[in-house]
């Protein structure tokens, strides 16, 4: 059993964990970030970045890189509801698009009055590698394929047991602070019996399917990123990840 001390142990290598790591490094605080998966996200996951979050990334010097990654979706803001993709009326689509563009222009103008940054659309599978690369350039330590098994908290800090999922090697990590960035189904939250509040499940359960399909002959040159499908057989949505 290897024993090690680190000021901060971050459990979870998603957006919250990587951003926490970057700000700790900014303040010269050493950390160890562990993530049970083998790498960054392979599913699009979250895609909308608010202007406030872009302000935070601006402080980290990452706004330009994220803005470049979001360029394919810069003008993809609109939403439309249809019975099927094939049944879309081109004239109605154009009318709806013009209306959306006017609203979008007004929205961006309002952002520009209060912030140097504006919203971006960059899905998690594109954003996480940008944050990871920035973290690697700092002084922190990041381990993938590593999972938290258990931990105990006392008046002076936290003692955690972690395991390398590939080799089975266990380590005892002593830290002053533990950051629970392990997602909505947080093991740490459940372990400490921290309750959740709110409405619970909203609208039932959903399946996300990430696939590639050329729909340009039905949609081109529209700028709709969210297409709601509503008919007696199907309730769902098509969401473009990169406008291809």
Q: Is residue 188 part of a domain?
A: yes
Instruction: Say if 8 falls within a structural domain.
Output: yes
Give the pTM. 0.89
Residue-level pLDDT at 12: 97
Does position 94 have pLDDT exceeding 90, yes or no?
no
Cis ω before 221 (30° cut-off from 0): yes
Q: Residue 61 domain-assigned?
A: no
3-state secondary structure (DSSP) of residue 27: coil
Report if residue 41 sits inside a domain.
Answer: yes
Q: In angstroms, how far apart are the furthest CA atoms of the chain? A: 68
The mean pLDDT of 147-155, rounded to a whole number, is 94
Residue 134, in any domain of the structure: yes
Yes or no: say if 67 and 120 are a contact pair by the CB < 8 Å rule: yes
Task: Give the residue numbers spanning the domain of 184.
Answer: 1-47+123-196
In a domain, 154, yes or no: yes
pLDDT band, very low/low/confident/very high, at 134 (cuts 50, 70, 90) = very high
Which of 49 and 217 is assigned the larger pLDDT? 49
Q: Which pLDDT score, from 0 to 100, does residue 19 have?
A: 96
Task: Check residue 10 and report its DSSP letter.
Answer: E
Dist. CA 4–CA 175, nearest whole Å: 9
Q: What is the CATH number of the domain that holds 14?
A: 3.50.50.60
Q: Is 210 a domain residue? A: no
Check residue 77 and give its pLDDT.
Answer: 66
Q: What is the pLDDT of residue 99?
A: 80
Q: Within 70-211, where are the H helices? A: 90-114, 124-136, 187-191
CB proximity list for 91: less than 8 A, separation 6 or greater:
none
What percentage of the chain reaches a pLDDT higher than 70? 97
**H/E element, 80:** strand 78-82
CA atoms of 214 and 195, how far apart (whole Å): 44
Q: Which is it for the CA torsion 195, 198, 203, 208, positive or negative?
A: negative
Number of domains in the chain: 1
Residue 127 located in a structural domain: yes
Q: Note the pLDDT tens digit of each residue in 60-84.
A: 999 999 999 999 888 776 788 889 9
């Amino acid at each position: 059993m290897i024993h090690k001390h680190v000021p901060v142990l971050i459990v979870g290598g998603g957006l919250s964990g990587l951003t926490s790591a970057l700000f700790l490094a900014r303040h010269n605080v050493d950390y160890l970030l562990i993530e049970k998966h083998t790498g960054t996200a392979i599913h699009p996951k979250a895609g909308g970045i608010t202007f406030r979050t872009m302000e935070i990334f601006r402080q980290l010097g990452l706004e330009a890189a994220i803005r470049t990654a979001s360029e394919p979706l810069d003008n993809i803001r609109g939403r439309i509801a249809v019975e099927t993709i094939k049944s879309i009326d081109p004239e109605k689509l154009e009318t709806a698009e013009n209306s959306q563009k006017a609203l979008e222009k007004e929205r961006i103008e309002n952002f520009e009055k209060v912030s140097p940054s504006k919203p971006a659309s960059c899905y998690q599978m594109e954003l996480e590698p940008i944050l990871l690369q920035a973290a690697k350039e700092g002084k922190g330590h990041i381990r993938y394929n590593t999972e938290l098994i258990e931990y105990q908290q006392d008046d002076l800090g936290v003692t955690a047991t972690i395991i390398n999922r590939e080799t089975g090697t266990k380590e005892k990590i002593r830290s002053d602070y533990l950051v629970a960035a392990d997602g909505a189904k947080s093991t740490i939250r459940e372990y400490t019996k921290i309750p959740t509040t709110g409405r619970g499940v909203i609208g039932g359960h959903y399946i996300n399917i990430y696939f590639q399909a050329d729909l340009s002959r039905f949609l081109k040159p529209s700028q709709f990123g969210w297409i709601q499908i509503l008919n007696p057989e199907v309730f769902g949505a098509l969401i473009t990840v990169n406008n291809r």
